[in-house]
Structure 1
Amino acid sequence: MEQGAARERTTETPSPASPPADAAHGDPTDPAGTADTRFVRVPGQARGGDAAPDARGEHTHGEPAGLVPRSVRRHSVRGQVLEALRTALVGGDLVPGEVYSAPALAERFGVSATPVREAMQRLAVEGAVEVVPNRGFRVTERTPRELAELAEIRALIEVPVMLRLARTVPAARWAELRPLAEATATAAARGDRAHYAEADRAFHRAVLSLAGNQQLLAVADDLHRRSQWPLISAPTLRHGVLVADAAEHTALLDALIARDLTVVRALVREHFTGSEC
């Protein structure tokens, strides 16, 4: 086992001819290879026939196609894996209640298990997954009540900030954010939940950044990300929900430009409580 760990530390990306460092030696969190491994590939990994062989204990039946996430501009392998996992969470490819093992996911990604474990540990800190001894990581099962609580906290934080900004920020500055609002509309029109979630966070970050408070940005973005994780037995997100949610971004910009505080307050509250993203 220590030999396998040493091999992990010496390489982050094994050559195509050799398997991931501890794929052949097992994993302390999954010695039996029993965890579910339906998943995606890391950015840049080819689709189709050149995928890595199925890992031990992997469920291959009904694996959805086209799950390669968009390229992630990260320098580290761990960063790329973390973003791929987050995209899979939002897109529903990581299923609430299912257990996933680090070595099997690493084989899918074409990397060693070390960056996968590190990324999963980060997600555990964020509350997205939980460690299952001797098996791997289980995706957290969230309830509608948790989503409502997150929406309430976001409203308590963001509504006062947006109302203050509406009184002080010039109309020209709000107009500069229209391309971000349009990006959410484009993703919504395609029904692309993962890309919509990313564009949605980018829009809200840009709005809140005008307050000049980095701590606010960090807290708000964390709450926003958590609110995007799928619920237990979540149904497929309706196309109309995404489109309506994206339209609220444009309406909010219009209200901010007009300094219509009543409309701003109503739109922001509705955006949090009425959205499924």
Structure 2
Amino acid sequence: MEQSRAEPRTAPTAVSPSGSPAADFAGPPGSRTERRAETTARGEHTHSEPAAPRVVPQRHSVRDQILEALRTALLDGELAPGEVYSAPALAERFGVSPTPVREAMQLLVSEGAVETVPNRGFRVACHSPRDLAELSEIRALLEVPAVLALARTQPTEHWAGLRPLAEDTLQAAACGDRTAYAETDRAFHRAMLELTGNRQLVAVAEDVQRRAHLSALRASPAPRATDLLAEAADHLALLDALTDQDFPAVERLVRGHF
């Protein structure tokens, strides 16, 4: 009996996405498309081209805008201490959905500005003179050693870069704008501490400073324009002392600033 012979096995023909052989879409000789087609024809595994990144809606930008609006309302006294505000009511006020308002309020909870009231909303926190004194003490513990170290290590020409920020605080104080002053004051102190290169120090100090600004408004009468001007003038005097490397004056100005 004659043995049957197996038909020789042939490699499958690579085809293009349209169904035609790979050679039909290999591209110019030596091109990446041709090399990929040849690899496919040999049965080797290839990685596909990376897909274009998917655009994700930036919901955080809405939350951040609401957060800044709420901070301004707290500093201006539009959100009164002890009062409870619901997320839906605030959302209607700002013309957004309740979700970014709740997210912003949770951040304010972590900052000690408001408190969560179950099934009702958020209560604006009340602050006592003791709260302000404790926060001022923490600020001094963080910033005084840092600025004194900078006074001895930073080139004197670096301080000129902070002068526009100090002048911004003076302008805000002259206008009696407490919200603008708080913002420019934080910007000045943040820029100074950034010279240390310690990101954690910058973040913690800014959080404490934000709490202190709010506590100052809650625990004492609103500062007069003359008080703000005197505080802003300390910034310029400090920069002068740093430029002159007058270390006793630097320490006196920093310790007296809190």
Assess if the C-alpha contact under 8 Å between 1:96 and 1:233 holds in 2. no
Residue 75 of structure 1: how far off its partner (Å): 6.3
CA contact (8 A) 2:148 2:247 kept: yes
**Against the structure 1 CA distance between its residues 233 and 201, is the aligned structure 2 distance closer, same or farther, given a 3 Å change threshold?**
closer
Q: Could you tell me how far 1:90 is from its partner in structure 2?
A: 2.1
Are 1:216 and 2:192 an aligned pair?
no
How far apart are the structure 2 equivalents of 1:252 and 1:88?
31
Counterpart selection for 2:98 from 88, 95, 113: 113
Residue 91 of structure 1 corresponds to which residue in structure 2? 76
Partners of 1:90 and 1:229 within 8 A in 2:
yes
How far is 1:236 from its partner? 2.7
1:180 correspondence with 2:130: no
Q: 1:105 to 1:183 in 2, by over 3 A?
A: same
8 A Cα contact 2:129 2:219, kept in partner: no
Q: Give the deviation of 1:233 after TM superposition.
A: 6.3
Deviations 1:169-213 (A, max 9, x none): 112110111000000001000000001000000000111111111
Match of 1:251 among 237, 242, 246: 237
1:226 equivalenced with 2:217 (yes/no): no
The TM-score with structure 1 as length reference comes to 0.69
Counterparts of 2:175 and 2:144, CA distance in 1 = 29
Structure 1, unaligned runs of 5 or more? 1-11, 13-73, 273-277
Query: 2:131 aligned to 146, 150, 157, which one?
Result: 146
* Aligned length in residues: 200
Could you tell me how far 1:109 is from its partner in structure 2?
Answer: 0.3
Distance 1:234 1:103, change over 3 A: farther
What is the percentage of aligned positions where both structures have the same residue? 67
Shift of 1:234: 4.0
SS of the residue corresponding to residue 150 of structure 1 reads helix
The higher radius of gyration belongs to: 2
Match of 2:224? 238
Does the C-alpha gap of structure 1 residues 75 and 125 become closer, same or farther in structure 2, counting only changes over 3 Å? closer
Distance 2:81 2:181 in 1: 20
Does the CA contact (< 8 Å) of 2:150 and 2:196 recur in 1? yes
Q: Is 2:86–2:120's contact at 8 Å kept on the other side of the alignment?
A: yes
Structure 2, unpaired ranges of 5+: 1-56
State the one-letter code of the partner of 1:241: D
Pick one of 53, 63, 66 that aligns with 1:81. Answer: 66
TM-score by length of 2: 0.74
Determine which structure has the larger helix proportion and give its number.
2
CA RMSD of aligned residues (A): 1.6
Amino acid paired to 1:188 = A
**C-alpha spacing 1:79/1:156, structure 2 compared with 1 (3 Å):** same
